Amino acid sequence: MPTAEPAGTALFLKRWLRRPFAMGAVVPSGRLLAEAMARTALREIDGRDGHVIELGAGTGEVTKALLAAGIPTGRLALVERDPELAAFLRRHFNGTQTIEGDAARLPRLLAANKVERVAAVVSSLPLLSLPGEIVTGIVHGVFEALPRGAALVQFTYGPVPPVPKGLRANLHLVGAHGRRIWRNVPPAVVWTFRRPP
């Protein structure tokens, strides 16, 4: 289970100094945001089989909330590209599957790790600060992995949907969002995107 907060926060900051654009934030997600992501994910997997895939798990703030919300460890797969963060996740989240790799290769990563069915994808990737072609690769891969009707859960601090308009149109995605979480620093919104069944 999770480690003491300072170790995770210090590691997060250290990795941010190395790759600020890939990390997207200086500190891990706040508790209220992580809990809102987890509540949304739990609602989304109701009645669905398969894994919950967390993209960009970092030091596991959202992971902790997903587990606390009741998602079983055996159904949770964490995808993290940064080797040091992936090693941290392996050490601290026994029973979950940590997959070190690039979310842009999601279908191949899942196949290589024998994850066959996906119930939902939960992402804290900084989609709005990554280059457009990388975001296109990631979002296409997510919807290749997800069955129709199943959701990508993605937060943003910004005022616009975190999946760009052109991609939403190309993939026929329907987006919906919850209330802005004003008490999170910075305030954030949790979105879901899906292809209608």
Ligand X SMILES: C[S@@+](CC[C@H](N)C(=O)[O-])C[C@H]1O[C@@H](n2cnc3c(N)ncnc32)[C@H](O)[C@@H]1O
What are the residues binding ligand X (CB under 6 A)?
Answer: 22-25, 28-29, 55-58, 61-62, 79-82, 85, 102-104, 124-126
Contact criterion met (CB below 8 Å) for 153 and 54: no
121 - beta bridge partners?
Answer: 53, 152
Give the nearest distance from C-beta 97 to ligand X in angstroms. 14
Give the nearest distance from C-beta 45 to ligand X in angstroms. 18
Give the nearest distance from C-beta 41 to ligand X in angstroms. 12
Closer residue to ligand X (CB): 149 or 186: 186
Closer residue to ligand X (CB): 68 or 174: 68
Half-sphere CA count of 154, side-chain side, radius 13 A:
23
DSSP type of residue 25: S
Give the nearest distance from C-beta 27 to ligand X in angstroms. 8
Contact criterion met (CB below 8 Å) for 159 and 147: no
Closer residue to ligand X (CB): 125 or 173: 125
Closer residue to ligand X (CB): 57 or 76: 57
**Token couple for 46:** 């109701």
